[in-house]
Amino acid sequence: MYTRYLSRLFSAMAGPRPVVLSGPSGAGKSTLLKKLLKEYEGIFGFSVSHTTRSPRPGEENGNMYGTSKASVQAVKDKNLICVLDIDMQGVRAVKTTDLNPIYVFIQPPSMNILEKRLRDRKTESEESLQKRLHAAQVDMVISKDPGIFDVVIVNDSLDDAYGKLKDALIEEIKKVQKTNLSS
């Protein structure tokens, strides 16, 4: 039993810590992530997500999305920092695991700016846009709860937000770079 405990403990710690990146659509997560991947090529990896089938007649819960711990570990085993770009529900699910990620929340400077960014995309109906704005408002309130996120970054200036993101991840980035150099 003790050996099994040590084995689980080691596997949870093996490889660099994953990064949970969350925030409302339009906050700039993708833009920040692209900059990070360009500057630190070969440092980050993505896990494979899984989805269930649609519900059958009489069933209620279908279309479940998620990432298995095994797929996160597979990225860590390659000595890459696994990036999980997930919503608040996903953040809550990860909190119940032993993955020990760095939790980062990206938020827009204001709801008005978020609305402008989403409207400028011209990709969704008014109803869909209003749903996104409502969800963003709820997520931004939740993000302030102590212990949910390690870092909350307000993306009011791309360069400043990127600097804060790098600061939050630099320790893990250096670990990966050091291990890659020594192997």
Q: Kindly list the catalytic residues.
A: 56, 121, 132
Q: Report the run of H or E that residue 136 belongs to, with start and end.
A: helix 126-142
Residues 6+ apart with CB under 8 A from 26: 108, 114, 117, 118, 121, 132, 136
d(CA 142, CA 88): 8
Number of neighbouring beta carbons within 10 Å of residue 74: 16
Phi-psi domain of 80 (left: phi exceeds 0; alpha: psi -120 through 50; beta: other): beta
